[in-house]
Amino acid sequence: MKTGWMLFVGLAIFYAILAVIYWQVGGEAVGITAIALSAGLSIIVGFYLWFTNRRLGNLLPEDNVQGEIADSAGELGFFSPHSWWPLPLALSICAVGVGLIIGWWLVLMAVGALVISILGLVLQYERPSKSAH
């Protein structure tokens, strides 16, 4: 996917030139910062695509003209069929947001609930090993 990383690197160069022109014309600081950050984001994505492309051997299934859809199929990962942990995770994140408005005492309690919810979500399929006695 040589085109992908070249596109983003070219976009980063374009944004960098545009930021300099905007700065010289007398643009505001927020606009200059936004355009410069856009250049930075484009170079990060371009570098990631270049690095991944180089690591995979410069030939992806998308680059093969006679390739089929099944050529790029693979395992996507494990997704939990039924988990209640996203609900307390979302509620504790909402409580953190409301706590920023109401008071720091609620933020502290909500962050504690958030840590427990994150641990529950991440470790829900981990089983403790049974020791041989």
Per-residue pLDDT of the chain (133 residues; tens, 9 = 90+): 678 889 999 999 999 999 999 999 988 999 999 999 999 999 999 999 888 888 877 667 777 788 787 777 777 777 778 889 999 999 999 999 999 999 999 999 999 999 999 999 999 888 776 665 5
pLDDT of residue 129: 64
Q: Which pLDDT value is given to residue 24?
A: 94
d(CA 66, CA 61): 9
In 3D space, the residue among 117, 122, 127, 114 whose CA is nearest the CA of residue 78 turns out to be 122
pLDDT at residue 108 in the model: 96
What would the DSSP string read from start to end of 71-97? GG--------SS-STHHHHHHHHHHHH
Q: What are the residue boundaries of the structural domains of the chain, listed by start?
A: 2-62, 86-122
Of residues 57, 62, 63, 81, the one with CA closest to residue 73: 62
